[in-house]
Structure 1
Amino acid sequence: MKKLVGLTLVLLSGGLQAATVSSSKNVELLVVDGKKVQSSIWSSTESVELQPGRHQIVVRFDGELKNGSKKTMYTTRPYLFEMDVPDDDVTITLPRLTTLSQAKAHFNRGVQWQLESSDGSTSLLPYVELEGKGFGAFKDMEALVADYNRQHGITFEQGYAVNLEQAAVEVSEQGEVTISGDALAQLKLWYVKANAEEKAAFYQWAKAQDAQ
């Protein structure tokens, strides 16, 4: 039986019905909206409940596959999705992979992640393959995702993923970059991108400005 985890989110408005986002066989849920998905040592969490809207979900393939006459564990890098969760239940799926050679070939040529709706319809999921640095790069998944979000101006407001770069930066067809959005959106963008030392310096500066 699948283990279900409910994520407590602050709703933008009342009456929203949570949807169940599940993972198919051998797909492990790692991080949802910046928070590590808690699993036991005996089984991984295969479902989360989310309110309809924009969310960030990180998964990886982690399963035992046939390798000749033996079976071998195969684990991929983590994959990050920024996806719109509908108000119906959905499942993150992969094509059926049964052998090690088949899985390696599929991931090497470009994996096809899909989102399957409760009515059986499917759509491709755009993704980012996360890359770590050094030994044990994927040991702390929360930190890895937090670093990615800082670099790309992604934050979470009222339980939803918000890409501040898209809210505060416009890129024309000619590649020209202009700053858009209101002052608050721009402040949020640069604050999210700042490291801890820069945030502390900004906080001190802001207090000094308020004291004037």
Structure 2
Amino acid sequence: MATHDKVRVAVVGASGYSGIEAVRILSSHPFVELSVLTSEHYAGREVADVYRHMAGIDLPPFEELRPDLVQGRAEVAISCLPETVGTAHTAELIKAGVKVVDLSADYRFKDAAQFRTTYGIEHPAPHLLKEAVYGLSEFHRHELREARLVATPGCFPTGALLALLPLIRRDLIEPSSIIIDAKSGTTGARRAASIEQLFAEVNENFRAYKVGNHRHVPEMEQEISAALGRDIALLF
């Protein structure tokens, strides 16, 4: 593809926090044409009607999520749907020849059994798990260039792995001593309303959650174990 050609990109789940941020960034990219924006909640509405800060940007309206509406209109899809919601849609897009960058955790695990343990359901497209490239570009840049499916790392794993993997690869850290102590803001809980994310609950507050069973732990252990060449358990 010549450098002056624009890549047609669909953003699936474009009205969520990650989706609208992807739209904002890509809307000014010189080699990207945003061709499809999907939103189950706002199908048929203009983006600026929902997000006023996007006014003045030439964007297609939100439309319903149907893989057949994306096929033929985009070479690449950015999937911003929650875990397990877009898994089957992504598989359909891949089958139709659309490259997918998945922001959820649906394709981060190489092992379908680990996905089942973590999310409580069978993976609907286990044949794609081995193919998906973990999207930490600092360590998988070569594989990402040719990938049909990119599994974008989670927030906590991104921070932890960028710090740990260089030390591990240079044998500068004892792997059994790893403790990850991480903090997250409320936008990490996504856009859906919940009592524990209300302003009155979180303002000047601080709490631990999912201690001992956080879904990002096996993701971090997978990547660190791959770098070590042996299984490792860590404390998060």
* Range class of TM-score, shorter chain: under 0.3
Structure with max Cα Rg: 1
- Give the structure-1-normalised TM-score: 0.27
In terms of fraction of residues, the more helix-rich structure is: 2
- Give the structure-2-normalised TM-score: 0.25
